[in-house]
Structure 1
Amino acid sequence: MILVTGGLGMIGAHTARALVDLGHEVVVTSHRRAEVPSFLTGKVVVESLDVTDRDAFLALGDRHDISDIVHLAGSIPEDPVQFFRTDMAGLLNALDAARTWGVRRFAVASSLGVYIGRTENPWHEGLELPTAELPHLIVAYKKALEPLTTHSLQGSGVQPVVLRIGTIWGPLVDPETPFYYVPPYISAVLRGEKPQPLYADDGGDSCYAPDAGRAIALLTTAETLRHDTYNVSSGRPVTNREFAQALQAITPGLQLDLLSGREAGPGDNPYLDTTRLAQETGFAPDFDVAAAVADYVAWRAANPR
């Protein structure tokens, strides 16, 4: 059985779904969210868990024969010190469980934000991570967890898999998320409002949540992996023009204003190189921009997020 912490969140739920589709038994944990997405109902075991409670975490191993862990649980920062304390405690308890249970593989969510400061494009796993000013507490934490994970599992027999996850959106995303402007943009259109115009050629990394979940599931279950760090995304940059065209194609009469070019002037939009992921798991995205937008709009017709 594979454990997915934070398994009722957007990325966790789609990861759990992909694992089930691959034929695996899955137990998901959630602390604050109780509603199980329709696509997981009756297909996974749900455990309520505060990942900062070490005893409760380890007790999962008494109830389930857990072979692998995908640690995706996380909190939203309010007080910086409390955020770091909470998420670090959760990580350390998950690592403790991995070592105690002797699981095969421990996958943990990092972020494309760790590459901030590198001027190369696309970003690939072989780049050294620079010392740079980071835009958010979450990115700082993700950058710190990478060496903590690999060093904590050294010599344990548990294989670490650091997931440098790109810009993910889709079913279960917060429709008004402050971390990616596309879901609020689509939400405005769905409300019948005219969103603020975007620069047509701005954009960058973007991956639809079902694709991201399947990539993580493939990395978790692959027979062998040659590395301990993998970019998880679509592997191609996406522009605002593509999103606007996809929305217009499925919405009769919709006209979206776009500003010409890029806000910062000529240049490239950064995105993740997923060559390593594709070569070792065979992953390729199922959704292009048009298919993703159509699927998401259909999902939102029956779901609030």
Structure 2
Amino acid sequence: MRYLVTGGAGFVGSHVVLALLDAGHEVVVLDNLSTGYRAAVPAGVAFHKVDLLDYQATAEVVAQGPWDGVLHFAALSLVGDSMREPLRYLRQNYLTALNLVQACVEQGVKKIIFSSTAALFGGPERLDPIPETAPVQPGSPYGESKFMIERVLHWADSIYGLRSACLRYFNAAGADPEGRAGEDHRPETHLIPLTIDAALGRRPALKLFGTDYPTRDGSCIRDYIHVTDLADAHVRALGQIDHRSVTYNIGNGQGYSNLEVIRSVERVSGRKVPWEAAPRRQGDPSLLVADSTTLRKETGWEPRFGDLDRIVETALRWRESHPNGYEV
């Protein structure tokens, strides 16, 4: 098969590219490199440096099909930033996706996989795993922008027959077990790499945002999914949308608190993690844990790297071997 991956130079996108290549498919990557890295794209993979806000340039790449599917990862993705710049997030994420969907419709693309988010469920305070049927109540403009795109895909299916899989995943973490790709954000905002860097002495003491949540230890609880398991779910989802669109939550179904992440990094690294309490961040719910029953039943997907220490171990190994990230 032949697939176009937008945002394929980013964290999740680059791991999905590897999963597609490992399955024997041909992959083409489109990325504007605003947050991704050219070095994250494997050698031999065709690459187009294009901004999806540029409709003409986007349409020219999509016209280079035929494509057996398009996988869309390119987006602004920081909850905190979206609270400070809501209109930028709403505008850019919506328009880039709309441009891509329009180009796909015009070129007769039949399948699209959309990187959605658990931030759609940011509003309610839940103490049980979240199913796909849970009320959508975004707690941030970032989450709202993703829901707007899901609605675009709903109508693209209803009117044009563009089948889609909206994959609402929780906290992607870890790194390729073979060391081919890892996590490198500038600035880094994800807890596991920040905690690892604090343990390695590469950054000041970790700031723990909120220690007074209604959880077992007062810190936020999140469902961490290894990025390789997440990539596998994307490949499996492609086989589910020949005749219908689907929506899946993707997570391990196991919640770990921020303090438990700190303890995991200390166990795996053998180092103490310096940290200090900080005020809550606006838009952060106390608990987000996925119910991935539908994905498991329909695709046979099961996480292979579900243990938190295993996730941390792959992330630690990549950061130790890439002290400057993708920069040589």
TM range (shorter): 0.7 to 0.9
Q: 2:97 aligns with which of 91, 101, 108?
A: 91
Q: 1:169 aligns with which of 173, 178, 197?
A: 173
Pairwise CA RMSD: 2.9
Q: 1:234 aligns with which of 248, 252, 256?
A: 252
Q: Is 1:73 the equivalent of 2:77?
A: no
Q: Is 1:189 the equivalent of 2:204?
A: no
Pairing 1:220-231 to 2, within 5 Å after superposition: 220-222=238-240, 228-231=246-249
Contact 2:125-2:287 at 8 Å conserved across structures: no
Give the secondary structure class of the aligned counterpart of 2:228. Answer: helix
In structure 1, distance between residues paired with 2:196 and 2:66 = 42
Q: 2:152 aligns with which of 141, 148, 155?
A: 148
* Equivalent position of 1:53 in the other structure: 54
In structure 1, distance between residues paired with 2:37 and 2:144 = 30
Give the secondary structure class of the aligned counterpart of 1:102. Answer: coil
Worse-superposed segment, 7-16 or 196-205: 196-205
In structure 2, distance between residues paired with 1:15 and 1:23 = 13
* Equivalent position of 2:294 in the other structure: 276
Aligned AA (1:280):
E
CA 1:125–1:41 in 2, change beyond 3 Å: closer, same or farther? same
Q: Is 1:114 the equivalent of 2:120?
A: yes
Equivalent pairs counted in the alignment come to: 292
CA 1:83–1:277 in 2, change beyond 3 Å: closer, same or farther? same
Task: Encode CA deviations 1:208-251: one digit per residue, 9 max, x unaligned.
Answer: 22222221222124475765211122232123454334323333
Q: CA deviation at 1:29?
A: 0.9
In structure 1, distance between residues paired with 2:44 and 2:253 = 30
Q: Is 1:101 the equivalent of 2:101?
A: no
Give the TM-score normalised by the residue count of structure 2: 0.78
Contact 1:167-1:206 at 8 Å conserved across structures: yes
Contact 2:193-2:315 at 8 Å conserved across structures: no
Q: Is 1:44 the equivalent of 2:45?
A: yes
Contact 1:185-1:195 at 8 Å conserved across structures: yes
Task: Encode CA deviations 1:152-197: one digit per residue, 9 max, x unaligned.
Answer: 331322212112121123322427533x333212211122665457
Structure 2: where are the runs of 5+ without partners? 175-181, 281-285
CA 1:195–1:48 in 2, change beyond 3 Å: closer, same or farther? closer
Contact 1:13-1:37 at 8 Å conserved across structures: no
Contact 1:108-1:163 at 8 Å conserved across structures: yes
Contact 2:150-2:166 at 8 Å conserved across structures: yes
Give the TM-score normalised by the residue count of structure 1: 0.83
In structure 2, distance between residues paired with 1:31 and 1:112 = 25
CA 1:227–1:125 in 2, change beyond 3 Å: closer, same or farther? farther
* Equivalent position of 1:206 in the other structure: 224
CA 1:280–1:55 in 2, change beyond 3 Å: closer, same or farther? same
